[in-house]
């Protein structure tokens, strides 16, 4: 099974800051990676798919990069509404697996 490891587990940043979250797979998953945003009490929301494709309706300040085993989610200019927990997910093989999550807070 593929294990996904996110870092950091939590991050605090100021409005306008650039924020980077990383996700590492324990084996090559090519570009089969997605990023989700989850706000408290809500369902996850797809932000990025296929490592770098922006889901329709998602603000352009969100971007993704990477391939193989190392991936990055970047928020170019943090906004107050971006407070949430972010998860990566590999779609390379079943069982699909998620990272443990990164909780993003505003300083």
Partner 1 sequence: EVELVESGGGLVQPGGSLRLSCAASGFTFSDYAMSWVRQAPGKGLEWVSAITTSGGRTYYADSVRGRFTVSRDNSMNTLFLQMNSLGAGDTAVYYCAKRSCSGSSCYSFFDYWGQGALVTVSS
Among 29, 34, 84, 104, binds partner 1 (CB under 8 A): 34
Query: What is the rounded CA–CA span in Å between residue 15 and residue 101?
Result: 21
32 scored as a contact of partner 1 (CB under 8 A): yes
In the complex with partner 1, the residue whose CB is nearer, 17 or 46, is: 46
Q: For residue 95, count CB atoms less than 10 angstroms from its CB and return exposed for 0-12, middle for 13-18, buried for 19 or more.
A: exposed
36 scored as a contact of partner 1 (CB under 8 A): yes
Query: What is the rounded CA–CA span in Å between residue 72 and residue 106?
Result: 20
74 scored as a contact of partner 1 (CB under 8 A): no
Smallest gap from Cβ 14 to partner 1, in A, equals 26
């Amino acid at each position: 099974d593929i294990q996904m490891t996110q870092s950091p587990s939590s991050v605090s940043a100021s409005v306008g800051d650039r924020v980077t979250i990383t996700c590492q797979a324990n084996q090559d998953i090519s570009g089969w990676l997605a990023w989700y945003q989850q706000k408290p009490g809500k369902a996850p929301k797809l932000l990025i798919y296929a490592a770098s494709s922006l889901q329709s309706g998602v603000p352009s300040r969100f971007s993704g990069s990477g391939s193989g085993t190392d991936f990055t989610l970047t928020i170019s200019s943090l906004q107050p509404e971006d407070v949430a927990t972010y998860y990566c997910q590999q779609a390379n093989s079943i069982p699909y697996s998620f990272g443990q999550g990164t909780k993003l807070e505003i300083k």
